[in-house]
Amino acid sequence: AQKITQTQPGMFVQEKEAVTLDCTYDTSDPSYGLFWYKQPSSGEMIFLIYQGSYDQQNATEGRYSLNFQKARKSANLVISASQLGDSAMYFCAMSREGYSGGGADGLTFGKGTHLIIQP
Amino acid sequence: DGGITQSPKYLFRKEGQNVTLSCEQNLNHDAMYWYRQDPGQGLRLIYYSQIVNDFQKGDIAEGYSVSREKKESFPLTVTSAQKNPTAFYLCASSMGDPRRGYTFGSGTRLTVV
């Protein structure tokens, strides 16, 4: 079974500062993927970034980067130069990989971190 | 633009009634998923389908049923057997490339009255 742990229920950060959201995971699968999603108050889930377990380099997408430390089983999200619009819930998730014949069998989510950016 | 449409946005149900939540996608994705979200919690997988006419139970399937008769549609029925159905329900789809992420709908908030 897969498990995601997010230990920060809430964070307050000053605008323009960098933010690190913590995520640790546990799995016995040899191949897996790690995801971060943003959920604004409206409720939709917005895909931010993905890291494959065999990727050699940390993933980056604009202001988002994923600090992947496989030996420590951590996949922290780093947001550079935070903006007021970054205020939202952030979820770390993982999936098994290596399946054939269609999509994967879904994501396992952590409980999330509520990020509030202050002006 | 392609996406996932969930309807209705808000739904009220009396105890003992079945209710069906709609999920339609025009992304041509093979796989579709239903998740449940409770306040202060992450998402939990209810059911998923990787291909038409086939679906599998997720972690919390008891009290729910699904069908996948068309690639575009994956409706979820919340039955009277579901003990605590009040929650936010999210539908998602995937094209099988994890680097594209999973695409989510805007959700249906179900309240039992």
Burial B68-103 (b: 16+ CB within 10 A, else e): beebbebbbebeeebeebebbbbbbbbbeebeebbb
Give the whole-angstrom CA distance, residue A34 versus residue B30: 21
Contact call for A103 and B90, based on CB within 8 A? no
Contact (CB<8Å) A44/B95? no
Whether A64 shows a pLDDT value over 50: the answer reads: yes
Residues 6+ apart with CB under 8 A from B61: B46, B47
Residue A101 — very low, low, confident or very high, per pLDDT cuts 50/70/90?
A: very low
Contact residues of B toward A, CB < 8 A: 29-31, 33, 35, 40-45, 48, 50-51, 56, 58, 88, 90, 92, 94-96, 98-107, 109
**CB under 8 Å to B39, separation ≥6 — which residues?**
none
Which pLDDT does position A98 carry in this prediction?
58
Pick from A45, A50, A106: CB nearest B48: A106
> Cβ distance A25 to A5 under 8 Å?
yes
3-state secondary structure of B100: helix
Q: How far is CA A17 from CA A12, A39, A58, A84, B60, in A?
A: 11, 20, 21, 11, 39
Residue B113: DSSP 8-state:
-
Residue B60 clears pLDDT 90, i.e. is over it: yes
Out of B41, B94, B105, the one facing A111 most closely (by C-beta) is: B41
B88 with A43: Cβ contact below 8 A:
yes
| Percent of chain A whose pLDDT exceeds 90 | 84
* Residue A62 confidence class, pLDDT cut points 50, 70, 90: very high
Which chain A residues have a beta carbon less than 8 Å from that of B109?
Answer: 43
Give the whole-angstrom CA distance, residue B7 versus residue B10: 8
As a whole number, mean pLDDT of residues A62-81 equals: 97
